[in-house]
A and B are shown apart, each in its own frame.
Chain A
Amino acid sequence: MFRFAITRIAVLLPTFIGVTVIAFSLIRLIPGDPVELLAGERGISAERHAKLMQEMGLDRPLHEQYLTFILDVFQGDLGKSIRTKTPVSEEFFALFPATVELSLCALLFAVAIGLPAGVLAGVRRGKVFDHSVMTVSLAGYSMPIFWWGLLLIILFSGTLGWTPVSGRISVMHFIEPITGFMLIDTLLQGNYAAFNSAVRHLILPAVVLGTIPLAVIARQTRSAMIEVLGEDYVRTARAKGLPPWRIVGLHALRNALIPVVTVIGLQVGLLFSGAILTETIFAWPGIGKWLVDSIHRRDYPSVQGGLLLVASTVMIVNLIVDLLYGLINPRIRHAR
């Protein structure tokens, strides 16, 4: 198990280097530069432009800039935002909990509904329930996030008036951040009205963000379940006279979970990219919205640093999933 973990970690290093290259170069491929956008519509003289670029070190050759960037990264320094002059990591980690909270809730929603739906669809293969789950999940998978989000806002916030349109919490409440997670902070401070407000703000974005992962998880669970239910050991379990819930929920599900956990891990990357759209639609003050704003302003350090941190998070989550995989599947745990 230890060797397994070490090899998984070693593989991450080249991936990390690759991400730094991509994060660094992609933002520079977009036309325009930070100085131009800082100046705004009034424009800026060529001399002043050149001087500012020089001050920021953006006039140097690209490979030099990259070298400075990566050397700083390995010292834990992601640079300062051009726009706000605060360190990128500080900005990132101030907003990060909001995105994590949203993504976790979305994933929770996706797993809590997708997993049982997939299991039941697999068990009832070919029946009405199976067909309904597969149709609905295909629809959910195909629905563009921004469109789906707007539809829900129109229905639940507009017509029904059940949920707020945007934001993370009502302006009536002021919550001193402790952990940065609104649900936890409101509870820690015993402010149940604020907690209620936070939950109501969270529901729609979490549903919107969780829809695609839900569809993927439901479909993967279903097919894994169908495959596993045909296995010899399921027949053995039935031959032992075990009750059906135990056969499905223990003997079959434990094996079906192996591919499903992998897929859930892969959804984390999807969640972050989905969060960018979702946060923009719901004005959710998280990493996604911050990244989009930074891109608009060509805030190079924020974009490359932010991307790097997001990518690192995804890599770490996938590493955890790989290790979990070993826990679920004893055959991997024992393999050298």
Chain B
Amino acid sequence: MALLDIRNLRVEFRTAQGLFPAVDGIDLTVDEGELLGVVGESGSGKSVTMLALMGLLPWTANVTADRMEFAGRDMLSIPPRERRRLTGAEMAMIFQEPMSSLNPCFTVGFQLTEAIKVHQGGTRRQRRDQAAELLQQVGIPSAASRLSAFPHQLSGGMNQRVMIAMAIACNPKLLIADEPTTALDVTIQAQILDLLVQLQRERGMALILITHDMAVVAETARRVNVMYAGQQVETRPVDSLFDNPRHPYTAALLDALPERASGKTRLPTIPGVVPGIADRPGGCLFHPRCRFAQQRCKTNRPELESDRDGRVRCFFPLDRGEPTDWPEDAESRGSAA
């Protein structure tokens, strides 16, 4: 049985302009010890999905789902007290901005031991030893002396390591890393990613790695979930996704990788932005930015269909960069381009 099983998750935000569906029918399964990559541009609902699972959304959010189970427990009807016992212990999360994610008024040691204290108890001495050991495990030099440091005395990379130490303190079954390297500089990014993957292997925990960087996914994940405007557009194993992307959006993301653009004078981009509350299109949500959009894409919304080794949400999924099942008549084709 899957560790995490989410069916048809919807998250709507109450805004001044009405309900905005930030997450629009997401299915997500993660097995124990699996490393799942979730990619998509800013605003595609990646973080919101995870925050909904963790119960960290603000009160303006309305979360519904057909099923949301973690380790056999129903996360939709779970009482708050039960949920608190799980969050931080069995499922943990680290965030994008390490500098602001740690409380500036408390020492690193306090914040680390606090997580241990709430879920495991133990004596002050034990907690302190454990905290020092955790800092060492996440690669912080002279760990014991860093316990009394305040977050502002450490670098961003160090703070993110502290966040990771805090998240793994209680041996979670699932760790969610929400763009853990976005705010860090490039050399540190690789170190943090390596650390996450190493911890995931050593501890056999499941890891959901949220990112908008396809290159990061290629290096780490085994399965990839591509999201766009609150919907899943494609999910499949990382090798076949990179080898033969079927959704035009996935293909476009891959084309935008500098490594793959060799020989071209200009790096390909995807025109436009992810639709917001005011400009959410009818039909396929990606059609205004899709090179291959047809008349049908403007009027009908495609479902997430199983194909080969994954699932894709497209009427005319690509095969080796060419759309399949295109309509024969030139009229409905020509009007779209």
Contacts and interface: CB of A to CB of B under 8 A. Distances in A.
A261 B152 CA distance: 21
Contacts of B101: 232-233, 235-236
A240 interface: yes
A315 to B, nearest CB: 27
Given A233-B104, A330-B152, A334-B152, A240 B97 contact: no
A240 B115 contact: yes
Interface string A217-260: 00000000000000111011111111100100001001100000
Interface stretch (B88-96, B194-202, B316-324): B88-96
Interface centre among B95, B104, B119, B150 (most CB of A within 10 A): B104
A330 B166 contact: no
Contacts of A255: 103-105
B100 interface: yes
A254 B115 contact: no
A335 to B, nearest CB: 9
B19 interface: no
Contacts of A231: 100
Contacts of A242: 84, 88, 114, 118
A241 B102 contact: no
Nearest to A254: B105
Nearest to A335: B152
A232 B55 CA distance: 15
Given A241-B86, A242-B84, A242-B114, A330 B56 contact: no
Given A238-B56, A241-B88, A330 B118 contact: no
A336 interface: no
A63 interface: no
B240 interface: no
A330 B150 contact: yes
B222 interface: no
Contacts of B95: 232, 235-236, 239
B100 A241 contact: no
A294 B226 CA distance: 79
A329 B103 contact: no
Interface residues of B, number: 30
A254 B97 CA distance: 20
B105 A237 contact: no
Contacts of B102: 233, 236
Nearest to A333: B150
A27 to B, nearest CB: 46
Contacts of B89: 241
A236 B39 CA distance: 22
Contact of A233 (B93, B100, B150): B100
A237 B103 contact: yes
A259 to B, nearest CB: 13
Nearest to A258: B105
A328 interface: yes
B28 to A, nearest CB: 18
A237 B92 CA distance: 11
A241 B150 CA distance: 22
A331 interface: yes
B62 to A, nearest CB: 16
Contacts of B86: 241
Contacts of A236: 95, 101-103, 163, 166
B118 A241 contact: yes
B136 interface: no
Interface string B52-65: 00111000000000
Interface centre among A235, A241, A255, A328 (most CB of B within 10 A): A241
Contacts of A254: 103, 105-106
B153 interface: yes
B260 interface: no
Contacts of B220: none
Contact of B88 (A240, A329, A330): A240
B102 to A, nearest CB: 6
B189 interface: no
B107 to A, nearest CB: 8
B8 interface: no
B238 to A, nearest CB: 27
B100 A232 contact: yes
A305 B280 CA distance: 71
B73 interface: no
B130 to A, nearest CB: 15
Interface centre among B103, B104, B115, B166 (most CB of A within 10 A): B103
A302 B171 CA distance: 71
A239 B92 contact: yes
Interface of A: 231-233, 235-243, 246, 251, 254-255, 328-331, 334
In the A-B complex, the 3 residue pairs with the closest CB atoms: A241-B88, A240-B88, A233-B103
26 contacts: A231-B100, A232-B95, A232-B100, A233-B104, A236-B95, A236-B101, A236-B102, A236-B103, A237-B103, A238-B87, A239-B95, A240-B87, A240-B118, A241-B84, A241-B85, A241-B87, A241-B89, A241-B115, A242-B84, A242-B88, A243-B118, A246-B118, A254-B105, A255-B105, A329-B105, A330-B105
Interface of B: 54-56, 83-89, 92-93, 95, 97, 100-106, 114-115, 118-119, 150, 152-153, 163, 166
Given A233-B101, A239-B88, 15 more contacts: A236-B163, A238-B56, A241-B87, A241-B88, A241-B89, A241-B118, A243-B84, A246-B118, A251-B106, A254-B103, A254-B106, A329-B104, A331-B152, A334-B152, A334-B153
